[in-house]
Amino acid sequence: MVKVSQAGISFINIEDVYDVNAAQNINVQIRTDSPAQATALIGKVVEVQTTIGTFANNNVIVTQAITAGNIQGNIITVPVVLTSTLAGTTVLQATVLGEMTNGALKYQTTVDTRFRATTPAKMLFQAVKSVITPGSSTEVVATVKDKNDVPVEGQTVVFSRAADSSAGRLSAATAVTNSKGEARVVYQANASSPIGGVIINARLLNDNASIGTKTTNITVSKEAVYTTLAFSNVLSTDNIYYTVRGSISVMDGSGRAVPNKEVSIKSYAIEYAQGKVCLLDSNVTYQAANTTDTDGNVNTPEPITFAELVPVLQKTDWIISEDSPEYNYTLDSDEDVNSNNSLDAINPVAIIGGTLSDDGYSFVTDEEGRADFEIRYPIRYSSWVKVRFEASTFLNGSENTQSINYSLPYLASDLRVEDPNLFSPWIGDTSPFGDAGVVCVNSLSVNINAEKNTSKIVLSPYQPVTLCLLTA
């Protein structure tokens, strides 16, 4: 009869998870085939290692000699104490040093266990999907962490609704955080809601850290919820007007385009500027420093000169429209700031083109959820007027509006110098709202002397102004 050896080593009564910052008793059990074999191991050293935390000796490795007190029959039990301030998985390894069988260690084993954080310090709360359609669902997730951002497991989170215009369903009132610190419940939508119409709260059942209540919002919608407004960077002209293509895009809460949706657009001038464009004769001379050759001769390089005629825009800061804030296209008696009996600035923009609805006013989006149009404005108002465009659509009885403040551009090729003449898109090279008393600087001379380390700038006629050089 062949007798099979039962000798071996293992960690006994090991738990799947331990709390951090608490001393944990870990037992190593060595099994022999007889009490005599157990007794023969007295004095042998058991080594235990950990990848997280430390033992009672404040080290990740502890050794302990086997004593008679560790033996009961053919079983040897060696206790160690392990403490960890960090959360995470540890690998424990136990070895009886020096005991070999066929060239290999006879008694060696490993086991995984885990330490978990226990003291909440913060909580993050959000819906997996912030926008869902009627009848669909999303998880809402509360993530609990300690002060070191380590997930805290085993915490009960209480969920509730502060508002629910969708009249939906929350799957549970509480959930317990897992090893990732996450507590999850499911919200199922019913009907469409306004933007952010579902408000869900989360708090810890035992909130010893006074984290408080966290909130997340969900929108339930298949309808249009927002618009975007954009303009092309390409202009066209018939030498009277500039025309720019524009487009409105209408999307639902999930980002999908909404076709056949009515959307309106309006514009009004919010600011204007005064000034004029001048022709500047610019000359730059650079004198490099002298050089000395190997014979000691001093050489003075020929100066380098650069000259060009450039347009210079001398423009005031933006001035608020006299039509503000009512924008009723009427010059009221107390609004004529510059006392010229004229409304500055008028709105020079006409909105044209596009597919209109039955009312002849609103646009209708195409199958891609966009409504294309054009804006047209007289050339002379380009650069001098800032216009606000507002695109609006309706959701659940409320208006959603996207606005852009747009400085009317000019065509770069319309502002040029054909020696010696200046050509600009503006009558008299001046803003339609006046030149603000600008006196043109006709010439700019810059002399840089590297030998003398000097620079000289001469304006004629002299004006204490900031120059903005315009190049195509």
> Tell me, what's the pLDDT at 441?
84
Mean pLDDT, range 402-418, rounded to an integer: 93
Question: Would you give the end-to-end CA distance of the chain in angstroms?
Answer: 103
| Cβ–Cβ under 8 Å, residues 90 and 51 | yes
Name the pLDDT band for 333 (thresholds 50, 70, 90). low
> CA 50, CA 57: separation in Å to the nearest integer?
13
pLDDT tens sequence across 47-87: 999 999 999 999 999 999 999 999 999 999 999 999 999 88
Instruction: Name the average pLDDT for the chain.
Output: 88
| Cβ–Cβ under 8 Å, residues 113 and 14 | yes
Q: What burial class does residue 212 get, using C-beta atoms within 10 Å of its C-beta: 0-12 exposed, 13-18 middle, 19+ buried?
A: exposed
- Tokens coding 112: 């995984």
Q: If phi over 0 gives left and psi between -120 and 50 gives alpha, with beta otherwise, what is residue 209?
A: alpha
> Tell me, what's the pLDDT at 397?
57
Q: Which residue has the tokens 């009961």?
A: 72
Cα–Cα separations (whole angstroms), residue 193 to 131, 252, 317, 467: 10, 12, 44, 54
3-state class (DSSP) for residue 414: helix
pLDDT tens sequence across 229-282: 999 999 999 999 999 999 999 887 667 788 888 899 999 899 999 999 999 888
> Tell me, what's the pLDDT at 457?
87
List, in order of start, the domains of the chain with CATH numbers. Answer: 8-116 (2.60.40.2550), 122-220 (2.60.40.10), 224-273+318-409 (2.60.40.10), 275-315+411-472 (no CATH)
> Tell me, what's the pLDDT at 126?
95
Residues 6+ apart with CB under 8 A from 347: 267, 268, 269, 329, 387
- Tokens coding 66: 């086997």
> Tell me, what's the pLDDT at 460?
83
Q: Quick one: which H or E segment has residue 35?
A: helix 35-40
| Cβ–Cβ under 8 Å, residues 161 and 199 | yes
Q: How many CB atoms lie under 10 A from the CB of residue 214?
A: 18
Cα–Cα separations (whole angstroms), residue 76 to 72, 107, 201, 384: 6, 12, 54, 93
18 has a pLDDT exceeding 50:
yes
Q: Which amino acid is at 56?
A: A
Q: Quick one: which H or E segment has residue 391?
A: strand 385-395
Cα–Cα separations (whole angstroms), residue 246 to 360, 366, 386: 18, 14, 16
> Tell me, what's the pLDDT at 342?
55
Q: Is the pTM of this model over 0.85?
A: no
Of 314, 310, 235, 279, give the one whose Cα is nearest residue 471.
310
Q: What are phi and psi of 381, to 5 degrees?
A: -95, -5
Of 127, 160, 163, 161, give the one whose Cα is nearest residue 143.
127
> CA 347, CA 436: separation in Å to the nearest integer?
20
Cα–Cα separations (whole angstroms), residue 440 to 308, 382, 456, 469: 16, 20, 20, 13
